[in-house]
Amino acid sequence: MIYFVSDIHLGLFDRKQDIKREDLFIEFLNKIKDDCDKLYLVGDIFDYWFDYNTVIPKYFYRTLTALYDLRKICEIEFVIGNHDFGHNGFFADELDIPIHGSDIEREHNGKNFYISHGDGKDPKDKGYLWLKKIMRAPASLALYLKLHPNIGIKLASSSSKTSRDYTNKKDYGEENAMLNFAKHKIDAGFDYVIMGHRHNAETTAYKNALYVNLGEWIRKPHYGVFDGNKFELKQFGTNNL
């Protein structure tokens, strides 16, 4: 089985609120051990992330341990989102999970997948595209590394909230930029276009192919699964968070 999940946003709330969501995500990671061939983390697993040369955010330790245990059984790839882009080698070096700073293309059982977090797909959104380029520039990350971790992680948390407020105010519309982007990729030959970011779990059929938005884990957790023949978008757990 090939699994897909995005937009957990661990660290969004205070620790007491976050634990419930983290427990559910760890339950998901443990549950898929029986049949997982590959897991794609499709961005914003963390509401903020920055790993220093010798320091990582301590509140995510249990999730990192669960990912490490799962990685012993199946492959994992991480396509970063607009919140958790501050990677400095920890995932690749310590967890053996490759990090991708841009969209990826994969093939499974003869089907072509285009996998993207989904941010920055509106070419008219010049402000965000400019900000994304600046924030992810090597020089910006190098300057961030010079901050004390307590200060840097606090700033990362604050900037993630600013990014979320900006995203929430956007009107994607019925024919939104993400859907148009997905259709373009399907026209180019992809069978499945998988994204997150929008926090709206949905599937849209187009020309015998499928656009999938994985939703979020803030209120109603969803995940995607491909069994080699068909793709399904499923809710995890029976209750909303």
Higher per-residue pLDDT: 131 or 187: 187
| In a domain? residue 222 | yes
What CATH number should be reported for the domain holding residue 176? 3.60.21.10
pLDDT digits 0-9 by tens, 56-71: 777 889 999 999 999 9
- Of residues 235 and 145, more confidence is placed in 235
pLDDT of residue 59: 82
Please give the model's pTM, rounded to 2 decimal places.
0.87
199: left (phi over 0), alpha (psi -120 to 50) or beta: left
Residue 44 lies in a domain: yes
Q: Which residues contact 14 (CB under 8 A, 6 or more apart)?
A: none
Residue 77 sits in which domain range?
Answer: 2-235
Report how many domains make up the chain. Answer: 1
Residue 240 inside a domain? The answer is no
Is 154 among the domain residues?
yes
Residue 241 lies in a domain: no
Residue 18 within a domain: yes
In a domain, 74, yes or no: yes
